[in-house]
Amino acid sequence: MENLFIKVDEKEFGPVSLKELKDLAKEGSFSREDYIWSEDLDEWVPAEHTVELKDVFTVNTNGHFKKRIYAVASGKGGVGKTVISSSIGVGLASMGQEVIMVDADFGGANMHTCMGILEPELTFFDFYTLQKETLSDIVLDTPVENLRMISGACGTLGLANPKYFQKQRFIRELKKLQADSILIDLGAGSGFHTVDLFLLADEKILVMTPEPTSVFEAFGFIKICLLRDLNRRLKKYPEALAVLAKDGINKPNNIQLTIGDLMTEIEKIDEEALNIFKETLAGFSPKLILNMVKARDEIKEGQAIQAAALDLLCINVELLGYISFDFQVKAAVKAMKPFLLFDPKAKASQDLSALIRVNLLGKKGVREILERRRWRKLVENYSREYPEQNILENGTICSVRCFYWGDCEYEDGGSHCPVRHLEPVLKERLVSS
């Protein structure tokens, strides 16, 4: 194929050679979601459906990097998503990978605090307002070798719900980042921005707890993502889209129609749409992390999600593993330190280490045992060298002068307050602004 015409972000380019197209794919300027002009069909078709372009996307490298994008999401807040994301980033970096963590929770960015950074020098706001041209310009170093991050901009109007062209630019720049692994910490819930970035990732990871509300929201998130993907891929098939729009599948509280039912109806309408439908189901396989597990029986909640997804949505959900409830995690959050470094020997740290090495990266066998020992020593060294945050030194002292005195579970007169310890920092920030 030579003299190709392509369409990226609704803009047409060409002619380009196949070699030039491969170069564009390598640098992240052309993706599977973009379009190529088909002379046979006389229309624009998705690049991912063009057999001749298969080799273009088989090697997704940037220089010597073998880039893999991980997205971490949750159906609801409070399940430990960001805390887990930061420790996964530490784990991958300690294995020698070049890792960039991206805080994509633009409405409530807080990954920087998990990494011990109170006030990031650069944030996504600098990219959003065009003060910096590329995402690479706002990448920050962290105290961990091989681990960098892009901070969100908490509390900035307009960032929580970016316009579509801003989202397109973000995705385009994300693919150009120089790293082996890019870890995207998404906002909680199922807004379209979160869903679109989740669908973009190579590895789609969902964090939930064994609580009924979390289980319910996790399943709802998976369903919304799947329907969003199906609607996007079938947008040129109006009859198939009409089937997807039926109330029986879109009601949030219950499902009267399963994905299997929809597939049966589409089979009667359009064979080509049916093939795309099946390809979408086969390609959508999110992974699940069950967090804050207090008893072995609670692991069944993850298995329940798997069964429901297979039965009602016709997709496979992989249970990546579970992380035990551990008070050391809470202590790590207060210390503004990833729990994998705060206490590498804690139960939660051991669970996450096994999850990353065995289930996420597939490292097994005798050689893995030797590598694991070296890796543990390296993590322990990182833990000792990681800078301590002494934000309590000038913090508020708990006393009878406090408004909450007599009605506070953290009350400890004469000691630094564990709740209002950031008050001096916030006051200083307000004065300086």
The per-residue pLDDT for range 54-89, each reduced to its tens digit, is 667 654 444 445 678 999 999 988 899 999 999 999
AA identity, residue 383: S
CA distance 235 to 160: 26
Q: Enumerate the H helices of 78-159 as residue ranges.
A: 81-94, 111-114, 124-128
What angle in degrees, to the nearest 10, is found between the helix axes of 81-94 and 327-334? 90
Query: Are the C-beta atoms of residues 55 and 49 closer than 8 Å to each other?
Result: no
Q: What is the pTM of this model?
A: 0.77
CA 52 to chain centre: 31
**Count, residues in the chain:** 433
- DSSP character for 397? B
Using the Cα atoms of residue 194, residue 198, residue 199 and residue 201 in order, give the sign of their dihedral.
Answer: positive
Most confident of 21-30, 337-346, 373-382, 415-424: 337-346
Q: For 27, phi and psi rounded to 5 degrees?
A: -85, 0
Q: What is the pLDDT of residue 63?
A: 44
Residue of 161 and 198 predicted with greater confidence: 198
- CA atoms lying within 13 Å on the CB side of residue 247: 0
Domains in the chain, start-ordered, CATH in brackets? 4-59 (3.30.1490.40), 65-384 (3.40.50.300), 390-433 (no CATH)
Residues 6+ apart with CB under 8 A from 202: 68, 69, 70
Segment 145-149 mean pLDDT:
93
CA 286 to chain centre: 11
CA 99 to chain centre: 13
N-term to C-term CA, the chain: 57
**What are the C-alpha distances in Å from 315 to residues 203, 221, 229, 285, 416?**
15, 14, 13, 7, 51
Residue 211: band (very low, low, confident or very high) from pLDDT cuts 50, 70, 90: very high
CA 56 to chain centre: 25
